[in-house]
Amino acid sequence: MQKKLIKVNTSDNVAVALVNLKAGDVVSFEGNDIAIISDVKSKHKIALETFESGDRIIMYGVLVGTANQTIEKGDVLTIDNVKHQSDKVFGKTESFHWTAPNVDKWKDKTFMGYHRPDGQVGTENVWLFFPLVFCENRNIEILKEVFEKELLKQKVNPHQMLLRSLVSGEEETEVASTTPDVFDNIEVKFITHPGGCGGIRQDSESLARLLAGYVNNPNVAGATVLSLGCQNLQISIFKEALNNVNPNLDKPILIFEQQQMGTVDEMLSAIIKESFEAIKKANNIKRQPAPLSKLRVGLECGGSDGFSGISANPTLGAVSDMLAALNGTAILSEFPELCGVEQELVNRCVEDEKGEKFLKLMNAFEKSVIDAGSGFDMNPSPGNIKDGLITDAMKSAGAAKKGGTSPVQDVLDYGEYVTKPGLNLLCTPGNDVESTTAMVGSGANVVLFTTGLGTPTGNPIAPIIKVSSNTELAKKMPDIIDIETGAVIRGEKTIEEMADDMLGFIIEVASGNIKTKARLLNQNDFIPWRRGVSL
């Protein structure tokens, strides 16, 4: 018989509905019969005891809210009867000890990656085009059209064929191309953005660090960079950022400044000629075996539901712990979604100064949000709330499960690059694309992205592995989901078994044997964080 309720932590005073429940149902749970008072949709929470106004609501073993009215045992928790609340943190309160998982079966495993001169290993081999300022976006788009048409085997978009048929009144069929791609061992990708000038100077400097991180990312073989000339993000600032992220960077970087080159046609002709020769050389780099310690995996969630913190996110956490035990790297970001679990993370920091840095970044971020007239409690989206994540602390407690249980080796501000193996915390917004963009800019060569509602997010240079928290989503949107963890909800697989499956899948993706759904859809999202308010 399928379980109807689950309690995530033994100290919790709420349970999650695994199926839809009706008012009047009686559910046997932990040796007691619970009378269901209101209709409860699956993924939502019910009270395991009667709450009076002001009582603490505990889930995942932490405070996730308080009752703002009487909530009877067996009633559903909603945004009307619960308000966001989290415990305050002032510093490390206890020592931390970690027992690493047994990873003997993975110690001698390798993936086929692209080895860079500085010792990093890429899972992709990408030549990257990007501007230093939005004024060059049009030229990037022109180059994108030119290179994609000539270098890649372009299939006609089926929606274009549909429109063509509607226009002509006749059924149109695509003529299959027999022309192979010009290069078989490199991808050419393009980034545009709205920054580089017009905002505060700090935004341009922050963008420079992010773009430098993309160039330094092991998935990038080299880059073509376009500058206008008069913008805030000067070439000198970009070069300084490159030197700061890696003083010994040994990659071809072609930089072109329009105001020094004459006409657009003259500049584009020079860019095409020089970039083509550089891309030809980069195509000669081949995949070679690399230990799993060279994997740097970003941990992301977006379009979360009430099952995300029970199935998909804990699976990522188990993978994160396995990577830490293998001397690999995991990156946990989305600081607004760590609100409420700060104490645990501070206690897990290997150095006190890292815990202090984490709290300083969290407090500064929250203050900027409050100063703008909002707050972290506004973080859950309408989709989150509809699927049971009714407070930010509740959402955060589930989101933090992606980071597993290993020690926090380092805490990074936005734009800082990963240098230490193990779990790293990176200050970013909770916005899916801004966060994913930042983790790749900090060195992630693969990203695991959990979702309960569905999102197509991808990245120009790093494979994004989309993980659904439930089977229904995987069946409904198979074109965007790579792995589904619904078997955990049904009790058919343990978190550890699912994590084993996932690590095997990561190796196949990192080796180029499997293309992620986001890559097949050519989903190349890139949004820098303007350091104002972005949740």
Q: Are residues 64 and 200 in the same domain?
A: no
Mean pLDDT of 471-493: 96
Q: What is the CATH number of the domain that holds 17?
A: 2.30.130.110
533 domain-assigned:
no
- Within a domain: residue 266? yes
212 has a pLDDT exceeding 50: yes
- Checking if the pLDDT of 422 tops 50, the result is yes
b/e burial code for range 228-258 (CB count within 10 A of at least 16 → b): beebbbbbebbeebbeebbeeeebbbbebbb
H helix and E strand count, the chain: 15, 22
pLDDT, tens digit, 9 for 90 and up, residues 140-149: 999 999 998 8
Q: What is the mean pLDDT of residues 237-265?
A: 97
Residue 501 Ramachandran class (φ > 0 left, ψ -120 to 50 alpha, else beta):
alpha
- Token look-up 């100064």 returns 353
Helix, strand or coil, per DSSP, at residue 185: coil
Residue 145 half-sphere exposure, CB side, CA atoms within 13 Å?
6
Whether residue 397 is found in the same domain as residue 276: no
Q: Are residues 273 and 345 in the same domain?
A: no
Phi-psi region of 411 (alpha: psi -120 to 50; beta: other; left: phi over 0): beta
Q: Which of 83, 114, 138 is the last residue of a domain?
A: 83
Residues 449, 467 contacting (CB under 8 angstroms) = yes
Same domain, 469 and 341: yes
Is the pLDDT assigned to residue 91 strictly greater than 90? no
Helices (H), 326-449: 342-348, 352-371, 382-386, 392-399, 432-441
- For the purposes of burial, counting CB atoms within 10 Å of the CB of 194, is it exposed (0-12), middle (13-18) or buried (19 or more)? middle
Q: What is the pLDDT of residue 89?
A: 83
At residue 112, what are phi and psi to the nearest 5 degrees? Answer: -95, 105
90 lies in a domain? no
Q: What is the mean pLDDT of the chain?
A: 92
pLDDT in tens, 18-70: 999 999 999 999 988 999 999 999 999 999 999 999 999 999 988 999 999 99
Same domain flag for 420 and 483: yes
Residues 295 and 280 in one domain: no
Angle (deg, nearest 10), helices 137-151 and 264-282: 50
**b (16+ CB within 10 A) / e for 421-432:** bbbbbbbbbbbb
Which pLDDT band holds residue 452 (cuts at 50, 70, 90)? very high
Cβ neighbours for 349, distance < 8 A, ≥ 6 positions apart: 92, 355, 358, 407, 408, 411
- Which among 309, 291, 226 has a CA at the least distance from the CA of 260? 226
Q: So what's the pLDDT on residue 393?
A: 82
Answer for the pair 456, 523: CB distance below 8 angstroms, yes or no. yes
Query: pLDDT, tens digit, for every residue of 224-242?
Result: 999 999 999 999 999 999 9
On whether residue 111 sits in a domain, the answer given is no
pLDDT per residue over 119-140, tens digit each?
Answer: 999 999 999 999 999 999 999 9
- Mean pLDDT over 157-181 rounds to 72
Cβ atoms within 10 Å of 104's Cβ, excluding its own:
8
**292: Cα separation from own chain's centroid:** 20
pLDDT recorded at residue 165: 82
Measured in whole angstroms, how far is the alpha carbon of residue 99 from the centre of its chain?
26
pLDDT at residue number 134: 97
Residues 65 and 169 grouped into a single domain:
no
SS3 call for 464: strand
The residue behind tokens 């989309």 is 466
Confidence check: pLDDT of 317 > 80: yes
Rg of the chain over CA atoms, in angstroms? 24
What is the separation, in whole angstroms, between the first and last Cα of the chain? 41
pLDDT above 90 (res 427): yes
Looking only at the bridges linking them, the beta strands covering 45-47 and 422-426 are unpaired
Q: What is the pLDDT of residue 249?
A: 96
What residues make up the domain containing 73?
5-83
Task: In whole angstroms, give the CA distance from residue 120 to residue 217.
Answer: 8
pLDDT of residue 531: 75
Sign of CA dihedral 111, 116, 122, 124: negative
Distance between CA atoms of residues 224 and 230, nearest Å? 19
Residue type, 434: E
Model pLDDT, residue 532: 55
CA distance linking residue 372 with residue 419, whole number of Å: 34
What is the band of 378 on the pLDDT scale with cuts at 50, 70, 90? Answer: low
Calculate mean pLDDT across residues 166-179.
69
Pair 158, 226 in one domain: yes
∠ CA(109), CA(111), CA(117), 5° rounding? Answer: 120
Residue entry with tokens 């092991």: 218
CATH number at residue 132: 3.40.50
The total of other beta-carbon atoms located within 10 Å of residue 160's CB is: 12
Identify the band that residue 395 occupies on the pLDDT scale cut at 50, 70 and 90. confident
Cβ proximity of 40 and 76 under 8 Å: yes
Strand partners, 468: 451, 484
Q: What angle do CA 490, 492, 493 make, to 5 degrees?
A: 115
Co-location of 314 and 346 in the same domain: yes
Residues 216 and 241 reside in one and the same domain:
yes
Q: How confident is the model at residue 534 (pLDDT cuts 50, 70, 90)?
A: very low
Lowest mean pLDDT among 24-28, 256-260, 478-482: 24-28
Q: In the structure encoding, which two tokens stand for residue 5, read together? A: 């309720």
Do 37 and 171 lie in one domain? The reply is no
Give the domain-ending residue among 30, 50, 83. Answer: 83
- Spatial separation of the C-alpha atoms in residues 162 and 471, rounded to whole Å: 31
Q: Are strands 408-412 and 253-257 parallel, antiparallel or unpaired?
A: unpaired
**239, 257, 284 — which closes off a domain?**
284
119: helix, strand or coil: coil
Tell me if 507 is assigned to some domain. Answer: yes
At 176, the pLDDT band (50, 70, 90 cuts) reads: low
Are 227 and 308 part of one and the same domain?
Answer: no
The H or E element that residue 412 is part of is: strand 408-412
Share of the chain above pLDDT 90, in %: 77
Q: What is the C-alpha separation between 271 and 288, in angstroms, rounded?
A: 31
* pLDDT at residue 175 greater than cutoff 70: no
In-domain check, residue 382: yes
Domain annotation covers residue 165 = yes
Q: Give the chain's length.
A: 535
